[in-house]
Every structure is written in structure tokens, then in C-alpha cells.
């Protein structure tokens, strides 16, 4: 994958589909093209062509958590340009129309007469798709509730002094002193619930990866929050990824692009096995004796979590299949010559900014 950072645009969460992309659309001095249109109208195709055209630039690619092969957004950072799918479940609209954002209506390229005979089928598929997403949300909510139980139990048994000492030694080794000027933080979804399970996007090849091996979540969350505070105080920009598998605002991963450092959580449900600079085993930062008294409860919750994760992924898989059927109806009615023309126009507009 080289040195492009990949993300998910969002993820199914305990409260439904969740995305942080609203904040990115409002980034200062960036211009956003918001693509509108039904399934199969060429939004992902358009973005793939733009990503290919500007492959040598500073790109961030955002994929769909329902269909992990579909591109949902592209950010070209060095040209300060964003292209994003603005349709359900991630509905985006212009905040400052024409000057900071623009709607690109791909629906103008479909032939309604060709779609009319399929009206009932389209409505049925759309309704069934919504039911699948609701079912996935219910499973994720139950999954998150059990994981939150594990987190709450473990949080009480963190050896704070020992973990604080480790954090201070590590950041002294890794971070420059900085000028105390806050550079800020941004949120992305590095992990998400998908049809293939709970997946984490790959980290660029030139990053040094530190894995946070923690089946209880509390220690790694404490670590990431502490390290993020120190990083900001040292004048570093950070990218944080919150865990969609927990009910609260729990940190799961952190990237520090300037230092090319990544802290990636590994646990019993994401099953990550990464080549890393250092694997940090968080078992040593808990009161093992006290935690062992809750071992049976935690083991039960873990087993139930894995079953619920499978059911959530199954619902997302079914949703993806229905979405593919919907795309078939729309694809047959699309004027792809018109789509190619508007794609080329956007490419030319972006090149004028270079």
C-alpha cells in the first residue's frame, strides 16, 4: 500500500453509523466536492479516477465499511481538496456553498424512464437494506455494552504509577521537546465493523508501529490519552481513532505523522498481528491478583462479544448484497459518458490549484 494512509469513512456503532468526516469538510482553506446520487451512479468510480490522477500527491483514502472495496472519500492534502460521497448513511451538505463546498449531482446522469419499471423492487431493496443496518446496530450495541463492562472492571485495577512511569520514559525517548505550541488533533476511523469482521486499515510502510496488546482496553486507552496530551504539549499534530466497539469515547489508535509513529491497539476481537517496532504488553500494568477475581465474568463477556461481532458482520454482509442489487438497477440507467465528462472537469479544476 506504500505511504498512503487508508481509513474508513465511518463505522456502525452503538448509536448507529458514526463518522468524524464533518470536521474534515470544514478544514480551513480546503475545498470539498460533495457527491450526490443513488447507488451505482459512479461516485466510487469518480473518486478512484481522481485518486489515480493524483497518485503522486499527499493522499488520504477513505473506504466504505459496508463494502470495503468501495472508495468513499479522497483528501488531496497538498492541494487542499476533498472529494466525498455525501449520500446516506453519511449525509453531508455544504456549510459554505460555492466558496468552500460544492454539490456534484451525479443523479443528473440517470434515465428515470429506465428505472421506473423497477420502482417497487428499488423501494423494497432500500427498505430491506435499512433493516439490515438496524440489525447490525443492535448487535454492535450489545457487543459494545459487554466490552464496556470489561473496560470498567479493568479500569479499577490499572497500576497508574507504573503505567505513568513507562509513558514518561517512552515519550522522553520518542518525542522532541517542542515549543509548547499546540498543533491540534484530528479524528479518523482506522478500524470499523465490516462484512469481514472488525477490521483495521494498514499503516503506511514508513511508520514505526508500537502495538498496544490489551484485551481489557482500559490500560491502552489511558496510555493513548496520556500520550496524546504530551504530544500536543510538545507541539505535535496527532490523529486519533476512537473505538467503535465500546460505548464511551475510548481511544483505540493514534498516528503522529510528523514522527511517522503509530500506536495501534491489539485485542481479542481485532486479532491484529503486525510487524512492529515494539509490542507493549499491558497485562503488566494491571493488578493481576485483583483482576483474576473477575476472570470468569470477563471470559464470559469475551466469548459473547465474539458471537455478537459475527452476527453484526453477517448483517452487514446481507446489507452489502442488497446494496449490490440496488446498484444493478441504477447502473443500467446511467449515462457514463456524462459521468466521464464531469470527472474530467473536476480533475481539471483541481489541477488549476497546483
- Is residue 271 domain-shared with residue 167, that is, in the same domain? yes
pLDDT in tens, 27-45: 889 999 999 998 888 999 9
Cβ count near 241 (within 10 Å) = 26
Grid coordinates representing 248 are 464511551
> Does 19 reside within a domain?
yes
Report yes or no on 320 lying in a domain. no
Q: Is 313 a member of any domain?
A: no
Both 54 and 193 in one domain: the answer is: no
Same domain, 234 and 175: yes
Grid cell listed for 349: 479544476
Are residue 152 and residue 196 in the same domain, yes or no? yes
SS3 200: strand
Q: How confident is residue 184, by pLDDT bands cut at 50, 70 and 90?
A: confident
Question: What whole-number distance in Å separates Cα of residue 312 and Cα of residue 233?
Answer: 39
What's the number of domains the chain is made of?
2
Range of the domain at 259: 137-299
Count CB atoms within 10 A of the CB of residue 206: 8
In a domain, 207, yes or no: yes
In a domain, 50, yes or no: yes
pLDDT of residue 111: 87
Q: Are residues 106 and 152 in the same domain?
A: no
Residues 165 and 256 in one domain: yes
- 2 by Cβ neighbours in 10 Å (0-12 / 13-18 / 19+) ranks as exposed
Q: What is the mean pLDDT of residues 267-295?
A: 94
Same domain, 154 and 276: yes
Q: How are strands ordered across the β-sheet holding 101-105? A: 5-8, 59-63, 71-76, 81-85, 31-36, 101-105
Same-domain status, 184 and 292: yes
Query: Is 92 inside any structural domain?
Result: yes
Same domain, 144 and 293: yes
Residue 224: inside a domain:
yes
Per residue in 44-54, pLDDT (tens digit) is 999 999 999 99
Residue bearing cell 525517548: 173
Does 239 reside within a domain?
yes
Amino acid at each position: 500500500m506504500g505511504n498512503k494512509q487508508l481509513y474508513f469513512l465511518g463505522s456502525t456503532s452503538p448509536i448507529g453509523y458514526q463518522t468524524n468526516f464533518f470536521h474534515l469538510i470544514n478544514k480551513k482553506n480546503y475545498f470539498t466536492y460533495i457527491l450526490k446520487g443513488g447507488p451505482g451512479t459512479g461516485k466510487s468510480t469518480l473518486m478512484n479516477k481522481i485518486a489515480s490522477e493524483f497518485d503522486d500527491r499527499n493522499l488520504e483514502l477513505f473506504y466504505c465499511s459496508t463494502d470495503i472495496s468501495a472508495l468513499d472519500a479522497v483528501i488531496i492534502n497538498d492541494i487542499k481538496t476533498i472529494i466525498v460521497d455525501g449520500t446516506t448513511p453519511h449525509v453531508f451538505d455544504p456549510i459554505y456553498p460555492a466558496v468552500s463546498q460544492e454539490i456534484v449531482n451525479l443523479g443528473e446522469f440517470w434515465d428515470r424512464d429506465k428505472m421506473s419499471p423497477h420502482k417497487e423492487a428499488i423501494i423494497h431493496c432500500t427498505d430491506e437494506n435499512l433493516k439490515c443496518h438496524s440489525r447490525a446496530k443492535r448487535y454492535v450495541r450489545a457487543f459494545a455494552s459487554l466490552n464496556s463492562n470489561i473496560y470498567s472492571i479493568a479500569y479499577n485495577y490499572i497500576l497508574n504509577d507504573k503505567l505513568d512511569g513507562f509513558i514518561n520514559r517512552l515519550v522522553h525517548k520518542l518525542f522532541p521537546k517542542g515549543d509548547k505550541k499546540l498543533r491540534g488533533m484530528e479524528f479518523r476511523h482506522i478500524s470499523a465493523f465490516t462484512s469481514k469482521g472488525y477490521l483495521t486499515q494498514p499503516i503506511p510502510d514508513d511508520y514505526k508501529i508500537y502495538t498496544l496488546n490489551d484485551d481489557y482496553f482500559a490500560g491502552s486507552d489511558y496510555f493513548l490519552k496520556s500520550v496524546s496530551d504530551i504530544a500536543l504539549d510538545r507541539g505535535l499534530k496527532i490523529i486519533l481513532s476512537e473505538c467503535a466497539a465500546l460505548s464511551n469515547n475510548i481511544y483505540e489508535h493514534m498516528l503522529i505523522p510528523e514522527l511517522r509513529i503509530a500506536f495501534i491497539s491489539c485485542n481479542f476481537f481485532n486479532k491484529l498481528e503486525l510487524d512492529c517496532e515494539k509490542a507493549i504488553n499491558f497485562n503488566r500494568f494491571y493488578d493481576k491478583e485483583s483482576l483474576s477475581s473477575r476472570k470468569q465474568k470477563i471470559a464470559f463477556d469475551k466469548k459473547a462479544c465474539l458471537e455478537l461481532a459475527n452476527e453484526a458482520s453477517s448483517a452487514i454482509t446481507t446489507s452489502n448484497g442488497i446494496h449490490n442489487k440496488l446498484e444493478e438497477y441504477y447502473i443500467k440507467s446511467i449515462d457514463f459518458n456524462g459521468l466521464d465528462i464531469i470527472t474530467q472537469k473536476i480533475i481539471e479544476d483541481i489541477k488549476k490549484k497546483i
